[in-house]
Amino acid sequence: SAVISQKPSRDICQRGTSLTIQCQVDSQVTMMFWYRQQPGQSLTLIATANQGSEATYESGFVIDKFPISRPNLTFSTLTVSNMSPEDSSIYLCSVSPGTSGSRRVGEQFFGPGTRLTVL
């Protein structure tokens, strides 16, 4: 299984500022995902980030608000820009190392999350 770390683990930010969340994986993976989760709620996919290509954003999420970098196969960042209290949430990084035909197909491994509070 992949081991994923995220920085920071939590932060309290002022309205209008930006925060960059880092995601580091201990192995090379092609597929990386960024999710948002309200405590006790389901996961909402923000975007899929593949190394070497532009991130693909889900409906309701735009690159200007959530720019993503994916410089190599073990690292990604998500920036939450011009934050408002509505951005307060847990942000999760996830990877999917399995490919078609692999016994690990479909499994996703998650980082511990970044708990963001915007005042």
| Shortest Cβ 46–other proteins spacing (Å) | 12
> Is residue 106 involved in binding other proteins (CB under 8 A)?
yes
Contact pick of 40, 52, 60, 85 for other proteins (by CB under 8 A): 40
Q: Which residues contact 105 (CB under 8 A, 6 or more apart)?
A: 98, 99
> Is residue 68 involved in binding other proteins (CB under 8 A)?
no
Classify 50 as helix, strand or coil.
strand
> Is residue 62 involved in binding other proteins (CB under 8 A)?
no
Tell whether the torsion through CA atoms of 93, 97, 101 and 104 is positive or negative.
negative
> Is residue 55 involved in binding other proteins (CB under 8 A)?
no
Alpha carbon 103 to its chain's center: 24
Residues making contact with other proteins (CB under 8 A) = 1, 4, 31, 33, 40-43, 45, 48, 92, 94, 96, 100, 105-113
